[in-house]
Amino acid sequence: MSQRKSSEMEGEVFYPSQSVIDQAIVKDWDSLALKASQDLAGFWEEQAEELDWFQKWETVLDDSNKPFYKWFSGARVNIVHNCIDRHLKTFRKNKLALIWESEDGKLERTFSYFSINREVSRMANIIKAMGVVKGDRVTIYMGRIPEIVFAMLACAKIGAIHSVVFGGFSMDALQGRIEDSQSKLIITCDGSYQNGKVVELKRIVDEAMKGCPSAENVIVVRRVGQDVPMEAGRDHWYHDLCSLPIANGKCPTEAMDSEDPLFILYTSGSTGKPKAILHTHGGYMVGTYTTLKYVFDLKDDDRWWCAADPGWITGHSYIVYGPMLNGATTFLFEGGPTYPYPNRWWQCIERYGISVFYTAPTAIRGLMRFGEAWPNKHDLSSLRLLGSVGEPINPEAWRWYYRVIGKDHCPIMDTWWQTETGMFMITPTPTVPLKPGSGTRPFFGQEAEILNDEGEQVADGEEGYLVLLNPWPAMLRGIYGDPDRYVKQYWSKYPGKYMTGDSAKRDKDGYFWIIGRVDDVIKVSGHRLGTAEVESALVSHEAVAEAAAIGLPHEIKGQAIHVFCLLRKGFSPSAELAETLRQHVATHMGPIARPEEVTFVDKLPKTRSGKIMRRVLKARAQGLPEGDISTLEE
Ligand code: WT7
Residue 629: pLDDT over 50:
yes
Q: For ligand 1, atom 2, name the residue with the nearest CA.
A: 418
pLDDT value at residue 96: 98
Residue 213: pLDDT over 90:
no
pLDDT value at residue 361: 97
Mutate to test the pocket of ligand 1, among 267, 359, 524, 528 (most ligand atoms within 8 A of CB): 528
| Amino acid found at 54 | F
Nearest ligand 1 atom, CA 419: 22
SS3 at position 511:
coil
Contacts by residues 609-618 (CB-CB < 8 Å, ≥ 24 positions apart)? 612/546, 612/548, 614/520, 614/531, 614/548, 614/549, 614/550, 617/548, 617/550, 617/564, 618/550, 618/551, 618/552
pLDDT value at residue 579: 98
264 or 270: which carries more pLDDT confidence? 264
pLDDT value at residue 270: 75
What rounded mean pLDDT belongs to the chain? Answer: 95
pLDDT in tens, 451-466: 999 999 999 999 999 9
DSSP assignment letter at 319: I
Q: What is the DSSP string of 10-77?
A: TEEEEPPPHHHHHH-S-S-HHHHHHHHHH-HHHHHHHHHTTS--SB--SEEEE-TTTTS-EEEET-EE
pLDDT value at residue 8: 36
Q: For ligand 1, atom 1, name the residue with the nearest CA.
A: 418
Any residues with Cβ below 6 Å from ligand 1, and which? 267, 313-314, 388-392, 414-419, 439, 500-502, 514, 516-517, 523, 528
What mean pLDDT do residues 138-152 have? 98
Mutate to test the pocket of ligand 1, among 284, 441, 514 (most ligand atoms within 8 A of CB): 514
Query: How many whole angstroms from 122 Cα to the centroid of ligand 1?
Result: 35
What mean pLDDT do residues 41-49 have? 98
Query: 389 falls in which pLDDT band (50, 70, 90)?
Result: very high
What mean pLDDT do residues 399-406 have? 98
- How far apart (Å, rounded) are the C-alpha atoms in residues 525 and 40? 35
- Are 196 and 340 within 8 A, CB to CB? yes
pLDDT in tens, 418-461: 999 999 999 999 999 999 999 999 999 999 999 999 999 999 99
pTM of the model as a whole: 0.95
Query: How many whole angstroms from 525 Cα to the centroid of ligand 1?
Result: 11
Query: How many whole angstroms from 315 Cα to the centroid of ligand 1?
Result: 13
The most confident of 408-417, 513-522, 616-625, by mean pLDDT: 408-417
Query: 1 falls in which pLDDT band (50, 70, 90)?
Result: very low
Query: How many whole angstroms from 439 Cα to the centroid of ligand 1?
Result: 11
7 or 152: which carries more pLDDT confidence? 152
pLDDT value at residue 608: 87
Q: For ligand 1, atom 20, name the residue with the nearest CA.
A: 418
Query: How many whole angstroms from 514 Cα to the centroid of ligand 1?
Result: 9
Q: What angle do CA 413, 414, 417 make, to 5 degrees?
A: 120
Q: For ligand 1, atom 27, name the residue with the nearest CA.
A: 418
Nearest residue to 79 via CA among 313, 426, 316, 304: 316
What mean pLDDT do residues 604-618 have? 90
Q: For ligand 1, atom 5, name the residue with the nearest CA.
A: 390
pLDDT value at residue 10: 54
Residue 210: pLDDT over 50:
yes
Residues pairing with 548 in the sheet: 564
- Are 550 and 565 within 8 A, CB to CB? no
Nearest residue to 620 via CA among 554, 545, 547, 564: 564
- How far apart (Å, rounded) are the C-alpha atoms in residues 225 and 492? 51
- How far apart (Å, rounded) are the C-alpha atoms in residues 261 and 461? 40
Residue 621: pLDDT over 70:
yes
Q: For ligand 1, atom 23, name the residue with the nearest CA.
A: 418
Residue 5: pLDDT over 70:
no
Mutate to test the pocket of ligand 1, among 275, 389, 479, 490 (most ligand atoms within 8 A of CB): 389
Nearest ligand 1 atom, CA 415: 17
323: cis peptide before it, omega within 30°? no
pLDDT value at residue 634: 59
Helices (H) and strands (E) in the chain, counts: 20, 31
- Are 571 and 543 within 8 A, CB to CB? yes
